[in-house]
Amino acid sequence: MHEVRVLGFIATDASTLRTKASFQVPHKSVLMLSWNCARVLPVEASEASTDFDPVSDAALLPDTLGNRIAFILYNSALCTAVVSSPTQDACLRPTRLVDASIVSMAASRYNLCAVDKDSRLLQWELSNFDSWSISNPAPSSSEISLPQPIASLTKIAAGYSHFLGLSLRGQVVSWGRGLHGQLGIGMSSNAEHGPALVEALDGLIATDIACGGNHSVVVVDGIIVYTFGSNSRGQLGRSRKVDFATPAPLSYNFDSETKDALKVQCGDKHTIAYRRDAVWGWGDNEWGAIGSQGGSVVRRPTLIPRVQKITTVICGAWSTGIMTKIET
């Protein structure tokens, strides 16, 4: 079982808005922290033969589909399910979206992308799920070509209209739209771009990636954080309120007792970096997504106090969910 400490603005049911919350995620249940809604829902017994693992598995609740359709990556199976109204807690009844074994998935406001174990990059248009129900066949996908020399991806992340991909060798690719420089290609462009290597990071070994609404974050060598894209609310960790179209490292020492590799997550306009014993945040703090310290905008990485034994972090638009494992 896991416990989740949520910082920021979420709705936990149809009528309650909370700025701070703490709740538990039982066995065989999934946590979905949408842009403005937190849902904990059990998965139908036939699909939940083992516990949902928030570190290796994932669940998405895109707001562009009205928080009605969930996408669940569970035991390498990519499934979709219709979510009941926020006042009901009926079990999710997942339908498998594709037969392939999936490594990672992410959704922008327009597309769902997934990488399978055969190194294929698959894409679904979210608009095809607008009126979908479990009695209908699942919408089909298209395949996107990866640039040379990228052979496969191990993780993908998505913002509003852009994606990042991380290769097995630590290379980073980006695709989609980059109006604020979030593709990291050295210029801003609202045109649709296919997957391309982020050349500014070529030769470095990236270990994690994350996307905010219009910004991107890459961890290099497990300790150095590179940011690029919109810095309208300090989400890049830089003092200047301008867009940055080229990745550049932050001059901050993310020091803690454990030395495991940093992980990153992003909300709409805030960024979180974490390892097992520490969490740092910066960017938009209007709704308290970084905690009570720092004011409405936090422009430099700031340690979030009183969190330990962290398993993972997930972010909504204006919220941060810090998950810890409870031994039972």
Cα–Cα distance, 76 to 114 (Å, whole number): 11
With 70 as the cut, is the pLDDT of residue 35 above it? no
Q: What is the structure's pLDDT at 17? A: 45
Nearest-5° angle of CA 251, CA 261, CA 198?
Answer: 65
- Average pLDDT taken over every residue of the chain: 86
Instruction: List the structure tokens of 1.
Output: 């079982």
Question: CB neighbours (10 Å) of residue 132?
Answer: 17
Q: What is the structure's pLDDT at 132? A: 83
Q: What is the structure's pLDDT at 14? A: 42
pLDDT tens by residue, 227-285: 999 999 999 999 889 999 999 999 999 988 888 999 999 999 999 999 999 999 999 99
Per-residue pLDDT band at 36 (split at 50, 70, 90): low
Cα–Cα distance, 151 to 93 (Å, whole number): 34
Taking residues 207-211, what's their average pLDDT? Answer: 98
Q: What is the structure's pLDDT at 178? A: 96
Q: What is the structure's pLDDT at 308? A: 80
Q: Could you tell me if 134 and 81 are in contact, meaning their C-beta atoms sit under 8 angstroms apart?
A: yes
With 90 as the cut, is the pLDDT of residue 198 above it? yes
What lies within 8 Å, CB to CB, of 149 at 6+ separation is: none
Per-residue pLDDT band at 59 (split at 50, 70, 90): confident
pLDDT tens by residue, 85-122: 554 556 677 888 998 899 999 999 999 999 999 999 99
Cα–Cα distance, 207 to 220 (Å, whole number): 6
Instruction: List the structure tokens of 287.
Output: 């709704």
* SS3 call for 18: strand
State the pTM of this model: 0.91
